[in-house]
């Protein structure tokens, strides 16, 4: 996965959640959404764990990504129902999402 693919994968997940918020059709399961190793970015994170396990940015990315999925599960579960709680500047979801992209940018030279 290269940098562009990583950011695209993350962005696609965000879009999927925005659509779900507008139409909570039960197509997403909280128990699956909370898992940080199922999405494309998560699969990459766990795939390269042995290679980058001591890299501080990698460890930060892994942690933030896990928190992002927990917050996404809260959205799916209906705990967060207001779009501004997702897209707002002070929203936990938006802040975690921005941190993921920021750390990916810092790691860009490591991405394959």
Contacts of 5 (CB under 8 A, 6+ apart): 40
Q: Which residues contact 77 (CB under 8 A, 6 or more apart)?
A: 30
Residue 38's Cα: distance from chain center in Å? 11
The CA-based dihedral angle spanning residues 85, 89, 92, 97, taken in that order and rounded to the nearest 10 degrees: 110
**pLDDT > 80? residue 87:** no
Evaluate whether 65 touches 100 at the Cβ level (below 8 Å): yes
pLDDT, greater one: 54 or 19: 54
Cα gap 49→29, rounded to integer Å: 26
Distance CA 56, CA 83 (A): 32
At residue 111, the pLDDT reads 65
pLDDT band at 11 (very low <50, low <70, confident <90, very high): confident
Number of separate domains in the chain:
1
Look at 19-28, 64-73, 100-109 and tell me which has the smallest mean pLDDT: 19-28
Q: What is the pLDDT of residues 26-73, one digit of tens each?
A: 889 999 999 999 998 999 999 999 988 999 999 999 999 999 999 999
**What is the pLDDT at residue 12?**
87
Domain that holds residue 71: 3-110
Tokens encoding 38: 């199922």
């Amino acid at each position: 996965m290269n940098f562009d693919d990583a950011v695209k994968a993350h962005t696609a997940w965000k879009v999927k959640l925005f659509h779900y918020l507008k139409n909570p059709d039960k197509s997403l399961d909280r128990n699956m959404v909370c898992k940080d190793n199922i999405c494309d970015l998560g699969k990459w994170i766990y795939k390269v764990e042995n290679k980058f396990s001591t890299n501080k940015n990698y460890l930060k990315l892994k942690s933030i990504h896990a928190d992002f999925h927990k917050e996404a599960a809260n959205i799916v579960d209906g705990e967060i129902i207001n779009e501004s709680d997702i897209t707002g500047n002070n929203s936990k979801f938006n802040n975690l999402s921005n941190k993921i992209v920021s750390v990916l940018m810092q790691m860009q030279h490591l991405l394959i």
